[in-house]
């Protein structure tokens, strides 16, 4: 099968390698020729040090790479999803299935990634792939599980078959709303958990953040029309565990830095690694407000990042909220 992966960051590169190993003809597309040339010359992605790109993996920056593909994987940062869709639109072949693996909500519109694709590329079947999946581990063929979601069950299962192998287990779901909202919100919670760690607090604080965040997230999913229990599966709790606790997590690392008093915007400096939670904090908080859902943890992270609130004050306010029952 001919497949193009759009976006040559760590995650796009790891998935391109996985798909090629599964026997497909894969092209990895970079947003600019300089990035593609660097990959060709170095033979590896700087964000996956020590992992060699396999022979036969085509590297390009030409949008024509999507022509005649049965599957196109969208792996840009969430803020670049709309622009990426616009760039490849003239070259897509009717009948191609589109899979988004980016995690976020567009700030201006409140749209999820699949909704952006549907708006820019009408008429194509669209699925989402999400779950606890550090690119560093997937690229090294360490056991990983994800969820392929599409309202059309047959498409979700088709995508499941394409990605699944002995190292990468994929489950199917028809709840693309829940799966995508989990992917966006968990990065915000990873920032919160990292901030608590950076301020010198322990595992209890992390566990508190994560468990209460699941309650917030289930309410958001329900209000958006998704299935509440999705947040307790791989896309929700699974991804939250790995993102909130691992040293591989860019969002967790950024949160630790903020908790220690540093200023962190949308990337991690020298690594040029995108901190998706930074962008998601505003957009998810705005979406929750639009849907009438109260998400105290997300709101506090948003206030810290964009309104100058001190992390210690935010945590105190969370702890001193009016008492209530757990559920």
Residue 270's pLDDT band (cuts 50, 70, 90): very low
Q: Which tens digits make up the pLDDT trace of 188-209?
A: 999 999 999 999 999 999 999 9
Residue 273's pLDDT band (cuts 50, 70, 90): low
Res 75: pLDDT: 98
Give residue limits of the domains in the chain: 2-174, 177-319
Lowest-confidence segment of 105-119, 146-160, 187-201, 255-269 by average pLDDT: 255-269
Which residues have CB under 8 Å from 310's CB, separation 6+?
Answer: 304
Catalytic residue positions, numbered: 186
**pLDDT > 90? residue 229:** yes
d(CA 226, CA 239): 18
Res 311: pLDDT: 94
Res 102: pLDDT: 96
**pLDDT > 80? residue 18:** yes
Q: State the fold for domain 177-319.
A: 1.10.1040
CATH of domain 2-174: 3.40.50.720
Q: Which tens digits make up the pLDDT trace of 67-80?
A: 999 999 999 999 99
Percent of the chain topping pLDDT 90: 91
Whether 130 contacts 235, CB under 8 Å: yes
pTM: 0.93
Which is higher by pLDDT, 273 or 316?
316
**pLDDT > 60? residue 269:** no
């Amino acid at each position: 099968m001919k497949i193009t992966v759009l976006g040559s960051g760590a995650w796009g590169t790891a998935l391109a390698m996985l798909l090629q190993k599964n026997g497909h003809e894969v092209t990895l597309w970079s947003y600019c020729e300089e990035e593609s040339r660097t990959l060709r010359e170095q033979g590896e992605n700087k964000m996956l040090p020590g992992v060699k790109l396999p022979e036969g993996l085509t590297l390009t920056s030409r949008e024509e790479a999507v022509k005649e593909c049965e599957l196109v994987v969208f792996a840009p940062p969430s803020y670049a999803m709309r622009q990426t869709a616009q760039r490849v639109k003239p070259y897509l072949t009717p009948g191609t299935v589109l899979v988004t693996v980016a995690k976020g909500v567009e700030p201006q519109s409140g749209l999820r990634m699949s909704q952006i694709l549907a708006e820019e590329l009408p008429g194509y079947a669209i699925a989402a792939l999400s779950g606890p999946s550090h690119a560093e581990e997937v690229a090294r063929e360490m056991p990983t599980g994800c969820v392929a979601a599409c309202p059309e069950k047959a498409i979700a299962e088709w995508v499941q078959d394409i990605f699944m192998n002995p190292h990468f287990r994929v489950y199917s779901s028809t709840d693309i709303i829940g799966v995508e909202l989990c992917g966006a919100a968990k990065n915000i919670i990873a920032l919160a958990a990292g901030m608590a760690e950076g301020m010198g607090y322990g595992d209890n604080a992390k566990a508190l953040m994560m468990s209460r965040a699941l309650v917030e997230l289930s309410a958001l999913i329900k209000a958006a029309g998704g299935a509440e229990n999705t947040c307790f599966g791989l896309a929700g709790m699974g991804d939250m565990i790995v993102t909130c606790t691992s040293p591989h997590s860019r969002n967790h690392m950024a949160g630790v830095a903020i908790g220690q008093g540093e200023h962190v915007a949308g990337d991690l400096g020298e690594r040029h690694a995108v901190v998706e939670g930074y962008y998601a904090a505003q957009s998810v908080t705005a979406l929750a407000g639009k849907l009438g859902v109260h998400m105290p943890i997300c709101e506090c992270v948003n206030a810290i990042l964009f309104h100058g609130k001190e992390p210690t004050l935010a945590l105190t306010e969370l702890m001193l909220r009016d008492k209530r029952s757990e559920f």
